[in-house]
Amino acid sequence: MPQTIVVDGRGLTLESVVAVARHGARVSIPVEVQSRMAVTRAVVDRAADGSDPVYGINTGFGKLASVRIPADRLQTLQRNLIVSHASGFGDPLPVEIVRGLMLLRINVLTMPTSGVRPEVALGLGEMLNAGIHPVVPEQGSVGASGDLAPLSHVAQGLLGEGEVDRWDPASPEGPVRQSAADALAAAGLTPVILEAKEGLALINGTQAHTATLALAVADALRLWQWAHAAAALSLEVLKGTPAPFDARLHAVRPHPGQVASAALLRDLLAGSEIRESHRSGDPRVQDAYCLRCTPQIMGAVHDALDHARRVVDVELNSATDNPLVVGKEIVSGGNFHGQPVALVADFVSIALTSLAGLAERRLERMLNPDLSGGLPAFLAVDPGLESGFMMLQIAAASVVGECRTLAAPASIHSVPTDANQEDVVPMAMTAALKARRMVANARYVVAAELMCGAQGLEYHRPLRSSPAVERVYERIRTLVPALTGDRSMTADVERLAAHLQEENVP
């Protein structure tokens, strides 16, 4: 039975987002939360029935906020808002992001600031639990008045319009594309007719780019662990020294990530026969930076990712629609602006570029016969006749090059929209999608390093590495066989990279 996540406007975590987005966890809205929503809704109903203009309730939107809408056309106003704004471009977002943003939007709607009827949030929850996910184009959001286009495509599905993908996480089949009307009917669900403010409440918010970044951060934090396993394996292959990971060195420069990185490397390398074999008599005084400075570089990466996680944790449970119901008042503001998330998404991209670049340098050092300390060129069985792992370094270099291009920040590139009403926009969705791409790129480079490290370790047999590194080696070998002659390694890299996303370091 899938896990159930209770949604109450304040309790979402990164782990609960992953559970719903990737593992089919169901959502539940407690009765007391629904009762709280009904109380807030009464404030909106009074405003809709009143004679004063209130933005988003009985007026137009954006630049058209000065246009007063008569009471008998408020339902039409809300539907028009949804269908007109459901106009994104490009390939559909993956189902996991759509599930994540649906969860996040339900959470916002359950807050006492939103002012929608309980059935709106319940309707989205029923769709999510039934595996019905609107088709959401990935392009079209600047993240300023929220992710208007992506969230509108989701809301359109709630109205029984547009297309959806139906997905069962227990089924080996992929999502099935069909009309929203047919999918809702098949699941026994009824389309929702929106009342005053509810259309705007569904689409003003940061949930598309926040869900995208949340999943990227979860993956990046796991990859950080695997990158240390790869670093430890490479250090052993290259007969490097763990001396620079001495706790005393890092205690006098106590950045949290640096201290944690050095400690992790010490744990990974403890008890190595390979280390003992070259402790004395090695003419080298210091290792290259890609080995020696791993804690300083990877520590900075950790601290960047940790900061991003803190921002995501806040955003998961933040009221980001507009206007907000505050007590008995309705107040317009700008909580929908995506700059907090956009900035850290760019930060994540920069940090992952550093991680990937560091891994590629160690990979190169193992394969280059001028740097590897006597290992066969490219770790080939018969160098010259065979190319060995040569292409993995070339492919990794191409990925690192792409990372460095994508690391240019999106969050500074404002392009004003809505007749200059929205004149400073954060490009948050662009930043979040870049971060997602960065995680995939960095994962490939770490997978390539792990493959080369496993091959290189075999040249030191019968000596054994540390117990922790040997466990990593055994895990790699369950997924990727040793290279006994040239072969295509695309499938090997893909299989190992997928494992790095799904599993922890052994």
- Is the N-terminal amide bond of 323 cis, ω within 30° of 0? yes
Separation of alpha carbons 24 and 2, rounded Å: 6
Pairing of β 4-6 and β 163-166: unpaired
Which are the contacts of 310, defined by CB distance < 8 A and separation ≥ 6?
none
Q: Coil, helix or strand for 285?
A: coil
- Is the N-terminal amide bond of 426 cis, ω within 30° of 0? no
Separation of alpha carbons 132 and 124, rounded Å: 9
Lookup: tokens for 42: 């009464």
Total residues found in the chain within this entry: 506
Using an 8 Å Cβ cutoff, are 234 and 336 in contact? no
Pairing of β 176-179 and β 4-6: unpaired
Lookup: tokens for 488: 């295509």
CA 354 to chain centre: 17
CA terminus-to-terminus distance, the chain: 27
Q: Which class for 153: exposed (0-12), middle (13-18), buried (19 or more C-beta within 10 A)?
A: buried
Identify each DSSP E strand in 84-140 by its residue range. 89-92, 132-134, 137-139
Lookup: tokens for 347: 């930060």
In DSSP terms, 92 is beta-bridged to: 137
Instruction: Choose, from 55, 444, 459, 473, the residue flagged as catalytic.
Output: 55
In this structure, what DSSP letter does residue 147 have?
Answer: S
Q: Residue 135 — φ and ψ, nearest 5°?
A: -75, 120
Using an 8 Å Cβ cutoff, are 448 and 397 in contact? no
289 flagged as catalytic: no
Active site positions, annotated: 55
